[in-house]
Structure 1
C-alpha cells in the first residue's frame, strides 16, 4: 500500500440488548481473514476514552464469542437498542470500538452545554407511601422531618455497603456510577422494574432534588425491546452530575417523592476512591 492510512480488519454489529448484553459473537468470516488467531483474552478501547476493557474470547462449537468482561463494556458505555458498533482489529488481540448512535453519528464524549438553572423550592412535608416498592423498607418509622444530611464521603466499598443499608417507605432504586454515567454522553438507565411500575411512558421529565432541596429538570427517554419498555435519564442528567460533582464509584439512591409532579430525591454516597 502506498501512502494513506493503514487499513485494519473490521466488522460491525447492530446492538440488540436481548442478544448482546452478555456476549458478542465474532463473525466467522472476520476470523478467516485474520493473519493470526485470537487468544483467550482481547482488549477493547474506544476513541473518546483512555479506558480499556479486557474480555475473554471463548469458542462454543464452531462460534467464537466475547464473553467475560463484555457485560461491563456494555454497562460502562450505556449501549442501547440499534446502536452500531464497529470493531477494528489492531493486532495483538486489541480492538478499537467505535459506537454510532441511532442518528448515524459517532458517539463521542461531548459535554452537555445546556445552561438550565436549577430551581430551589420550599421543603414540604411528604406523607409516607403505603404502596409497595422496588426496595422494601425494614422499618417505616423513619423521621421524615430530620435535618438535611450532607453527602457521605467514604471508601468505595464502604459507600456501597452504606447505600445497601438505606431504608425508606417510599419506592427507590440504587445505582453505582460508572464512567459513562458521569462523563461524556452522560445518560443513566433507570432500573427497569422501577420504571415500569412508577414512571408512566407519558412522563417526559422528572424533577430531581438533592439533600439541599435544589431541583434539576431531567428528561426521560424511552425505547422498547419486543413489547417491554425501558427508560433512561437523558438531557439534564449531565448538569445534575456536574452540579453535584458526581464521580465514578459514587452510589446514588433515587427515592420517589409524593408530589403532583414526578419528583425524585437523590441520596448521594460519595467515594474517595474515584479517579480525579
Structure 2
C-alpha cells in the first residue's frame, strides 16, 4: 500500500455470519486504530454524503466489533446476502464506505435514506429534543449565515443583561434540569458566564470532550437548535482553550442568551452539533 493511501478493509454481508447484527473488524486492521480512540465510529459514504451514522465499537477478547447502531446502518442501506462493503479509514474514528451488490455494481440506497428521513421527521413530535439513534442529516450548504444587517461583533461586545439575574433556587433548578438530560450521542454541558454572552463571546469546550471527539484543526461546525430547527455556523478553535467563537455572537443574540443559562452541546454528526438551551429565568424569548 502506498504511503499516501488510506487503510481499507472489506466485509461481505451474510445473516449466517451474523454480519447483520454486528460487524467484526479484521484483527490486522486494528493497528491503524489507536487504543485511545473513542468508542463511537462515524460512517458515511464520503465527502458528498448527506447522512452519517454513529456506531458504537466494542473491544472484546474476540476482537473489535461495530455494535450499537450497526443494525440501523444495515437496515437503512437494505444490506442483503452477499452485499460487499469496502471501508476506508479516514482517521479519528471516521470511516467512509462503498457498497456493492451481487452484480458487482455500486448500490444505490438513496430511497431508503429518504424514507427514514420522512419517518424521523414525522415522529419528531413524540420525541422532541431527541435525535434519531443513528441517522443524521448533515447539510452540505453553508447554512445559518447571519444577515448583513445584524450588528457587528464590535457593536455587541459589552452588552448589558436584558433580564434580572437568576436566584439561587433558579440556578439550582436549571442545573437539575440540565443534568437530567441523556442522549445516545456524545455531549457536554456548558453553564454560560458573563464572558460568554456579554464580553468575549467565546464558549469553551471541556478538554476531555475536545480531545476525544473533536478535530485537531480549525473547523467550521453546524449548530442546530433542537426546538426551532434553525442552523448557525460556528468556528471551532482547538488548542489549550478549545472553544467556539466565530458565529457564537450571532447565536447568542438570536436566542437572547444570558448569564446563568445552560447549554448542552450534542455531537450528532461529523462537524455538526445540536444545542439544547435551559434558561435560568423563563422571561426571555428568542427572536426570529
The two structures have a TM-score, normalised by structure 1, of: 0.43
Q: TM-score, normalised by structure 2?
A: 0.41
Question: 1 or 2, which has the higher helix percentage?
Answer: 2
